[in-house]
Structure 1
Amino acid sequence: MKRVFIILLDSLGIGYSKDAYKFGDKGSNTLGHIAEVCNKNIGNINRKGNLYIPNLTSLGLGLATKHASGKFPVGLDKNKKIIASYGYASSISSGKDTCSGHWEISGVPVLFDWHYFKKRENTFPNKILKKILLKTNIFGYLGNCHDSGTNIIYKLGEEHIKTKKPIIYTSSDSVFQIACHEKIFSVEKLYKISNIIRKILNKSKYKINRVIARPFLGTNRNNFYRTNNRLDITVKPHGDTVMYKLIKEINGKVVAIGKVSDIYSNIGITKSVKSFGIKNLFLQTLKYIKKSSNNSIVFTNFVDFDSLWGHRRDVYGYAKGLELFDSMIPKMIKILKSKDLLIFLSDHGCDPTWYGTNHTREYIPILLYSRNIKPCFIGHRKTFSDIAQTISSYFGLSKMDYGKSII
């Protein structure tokens, strides 16, 4: 029986990549810097001791980081017995966004440039805004600027409640975001206008990666918070992913947990499981590992590392999340069958010690565990697509256009 389980720790970069200077990210290192801050216990009286992730360390994460960045993460156990094959990969995609990273992992790198809305007083083009007002029947909007998701609802949430006008904004990523209060605007209405905006952008000259619906709750700026009803509406992948090939060529099954189905526009997915939070995502992953049959992929994205801690530059939150995740790994390894292939990796960096609030251009770890594979260093992989080629080879699928098989 052949099964693959992809465990993606969203934003866990392990050192700036060779081309990081193009993005202003030379010097970034998500895992390395988190470990350093924990070791020094900077500014947090509630935190004592080094970053404690013994299971990820035994899978080779520390050594992968050392090869990628030149430095073993401070505080991790250098003498830990290694039980998996480990290495690191650089991206050939043009951007450091979510879709580019995920698509490249699945064998479809993004070699073109997405469109990014410029940072100015009125961010979105008037032609687009006029079409949105006409097609959605909304009578106005707030925002129309660059901002973070938490900051903009703090600034404009109360006005939104009074006027019922959607808050529209973007970031350094290729995104069009809409924030609305769930009780004032309704999630259904927010989803509806988000899908309309997606169609408008698809027909325009603007190649925008994602339209993101961002619902929130609360009564005033002091207690507004974003809910788990977020919806990412992406463009469809421009090529056949390894998941799509698994379904098409051998009638396989792909279970997408968390935000994975959104990222791939539900292409190459046979079942989508919505779940939130490190613990719940892990439990859902365990459930579907136990349930999955021959020729199956279970693909889980642990988004909290990116959305809750990376973007918000919360070093200690990130560390605590890693430690919680790490503590549950033995449960996953215990239920694996002899031929199962378990892959831990990431999609980009989001160094919580770096300036700004954006992703960082970094190498990602690749940790391969299987009872049939002898642990070894798999080297520097020149593209994330080596993962897709490896999975394709494992299942006996037709060869992917990009990447080289690791096993």
Structure 2
Amino acid sequence: MGKYKRIFVIVIDSLGIGQMPDGEKFGDIGVNTLGHISEAVDSFRIPNLQRLGLANLTPLKQVEALESPLGYQAVVREASNGKDTMTGHWEMMGIETKTPFQTFTDHGFPQELITELERRTGHKIIGNKSASGTAIIDELGEEEIATGHMIVYTSADSVLQICGNEETFDLQELYRCCEIARELTLREEWRVGRVIARPYIGKKKGEFERTSNRHDYALKPSGATALNVLKDSGFDVISVGKIVDIFDGEGITQAHKSKSSVHGMEQTLELAQKDFHGLCFVNLVDFDAKWGHRRNPEGYRDELEKFDEKLGLLLETLWEEDLLMISADHGTDPTYTGTDHTREKVPLLAYSKSMKGSGRLPEQETFAVIGATAAENFGVSMPKNTIGTSLLHFLK
């Protein structure tokens, strides 16, 4: 058995801690998701993240850095060319993405794609622009219900999203249309990272509400990852939240869908009480989807405080032979212009009850240190053409 029997990797989706050196190339200057949340709110209480040293990685107005936080802390850079969910998560498990996915933020999708999607699905498409998901449902939901048309939209991410009212459009029909869209967007000029089904309920503007039956149709990773080699070597690879969608099921032995980030932590707590041998990989999406993209620092702060409460329970629940790593996949600075992700460095907090030491690690050049650390711990080699070096020798 490796040094640790179980490794928990928790991704606080979009919790950046400062501009990447190449941030200007992405239009992201002076961004800092966590730091600017702290500046924008009056109170901020995250005692468990403070204990793990989060405030030691970027200054926070209300949260002091500790002289001797628990475990180890590092600032981590992204090596890949991008700032989206898939790029960040794939890199954590060893893949460097050099060619970014297509985005259609400025003008919507090409008419050729829309025409083919209408022909294949049998639905007239309305929308076809970059928009907030809740806003476009309020704008076009009544029309969709009345006509059977289909709302298609995008965002600053590489996504094609389709809305469907569960009571009138039918959930299975929505999924069918998304599968067709996924097939069409495999073409290089239309290649988006994800097609997302966005079901909702309600009958009129102001009453519409998105449901937890969202489903992501992602591209398969561009190569084998740490998840594949762990699974192939007989280890458990348990996903919580949208991890299974991000990797299109590759390298996953057991998947748990989450209704919210709080629910995702509740699921993680339940898993921490069960005996398994391997990796539990968790994504908590509400930080990004509900608060970062909607430019709501107070909501983001509230979500972090809820997470911190559950984190305290998890720290108590962990076994001596467990390793916890907390990180992020990109930034989404809620005080910045627009609604896009932001190109940022991210935190890495590593803790185990069995650790004798603690301290600040050197700044890391890639998120892939996470997957490489897990692979070395379990005695497996990372796949060919992956990046990242293990930090296991630091974690004493």
Task: Name the TM-score, length of structure 2 as normaliser.
Answer: 0.94
Question: What displacement does 1:133 show?
Answer: 2.2
- 1:331 aligns to 2:313 (yes or no): yes
C-alpha distance in 2 between matches for 1:390 and 1:196: 38
Corresponding residue for residue 390 of structure 2: 405
CA displacement 1:219-243 (0-9 Å, x = unmatched): 2112222211111100000111111
Corresponding residue for residue 307 of structure 1: 289
Among 82, 99, 113, the residue aligned to 1:112: 99
Corresponding residue for residue 25 of structure 1: 28
Contact 1:378 1:406 in 2 (8 A): no
Report 1:37-76 matches (<5 A).
Answer: 37-38=40-41, 41=42, 50-65=43-58, 72-76=59-63
Contact 1:58 1:80 in 2 (8 A): no
Question: What displacement does 1:78 show?
Answer: 2.6
C-alpha distance in 2 between matches for 1:329 and 1:169: 35
Contact 2:201 2:208 in 1 (8 A): yes
Identity of aligned residues (%): 39
C-alpha distance in 2 between matches for 1:126 and 1:281: 39
C-alpha distance in 1 between matches for 2:322 and 2:153: 43
CA displacement 1:295-331 (0-9 Å, x = unmatched): x111111111011111111111111111111112222
CA displacement 1:53-90 (0-9 Å, x = unmatched): 0110111111122xxxxxx1111023464111001111
Corresponding residue for residue 194 of structure 2: 210
Letter in 2 for 1:365: P
Q: For the structure 1 residues 292 and 128, does the alpha-carbon distance in structure 2 shift closer, same or farther, using more than 3 Å as the test? A: farther
Contact 1:209 1:234 in 2 (8 A): yes
C-alpha distance in 1 between matches for 2:39 and 2:155: 28
- 1:234 aligns to 2:218 (yes or no): yes
Letter in 2 for 1:184: T
- 1:90 aligns to 2:72 (yes or no): no
What SS does the aligned partner of 1:350 have? coil
Corresponding residue for residue 118 of structure 2: 133
C-alpha distance in 1 between matches for 2:67 and 2:139: 48
CA displacement 1:155-188 (0-9 Å, x = unmatched): 1111111111110111121111111111110111
- 1:341 aligns to 2:323 (yes or no): yes
Which consecutive aligned stretches of 4+ in structure 1 deviate over 3 angstroms post-superposition?
none
Letter in 1 for 2:198: R
CA displacement 1:257-304 (0-9 Å, x = unmatched): 11110111011111111112233211110111222422x111111111
C-alpha distance in 2 between matches for 1:135 and 1:80: 61
Corresponding residue for residue 205 of structure 2: 221
Question: What displacement does 1:192 show?
Answer: 1.0
C-alpha distance in 1 between matches for 2:298 and 2:391: 34
CA displacement 1:351-371 (0-9 Å, x = unmatched): 111111111111110001113
Contact 1:180 1:214 in 2 (8 A): yes
CA displacement 1:87-128 (0-9 Å, x = unmatched): 1111111110110011001111211121122512xx222322
What SS does the aligned partner of 2:273 have? helix
Report 1:156-175 matches (<5 A).
Answer: 156-175=140-159
RMSD, aligned CA:
1.4
Among 298, 318, 322, the residue aligned to 2:300: 318
Letter in 2 for 1:278: S
C-alpha distance in 2 between matches for 1:219 and 1:348: 36
Task: Name the TM-score, length of structure 1 as normaliser.
Answer: 0.92
Among 370, 381, 384, the residue aligned to 2:364: 381
Unpaired segments ≥5 residues, structure 1: 42-49, 66-71
Among 37, 40, 63, the residue aligned to 1:34: 37
Report 1:169-318 matches (<5 A).
Answer: 169-203=153-187, 205-248=189-232, 250-294=233-277, 296-318=278-300
C-alpha distance in 1 between matches for 2:254 and 2:13: 21
C-alpha distance in 2 between matches for 1:263 and 1:202: 16
CA displacement 1:186-243 (0-9 Å, x = unmatched): 1111011101110122245422110011111222112222211111100000111111
Letter in 2 for 1:215: P
Corresponding residue for residue 101 of structure 1: 88
Equivalent residues, number: 386
C-alpha distance in 2 between matches for 1:345 and 1:330: 16
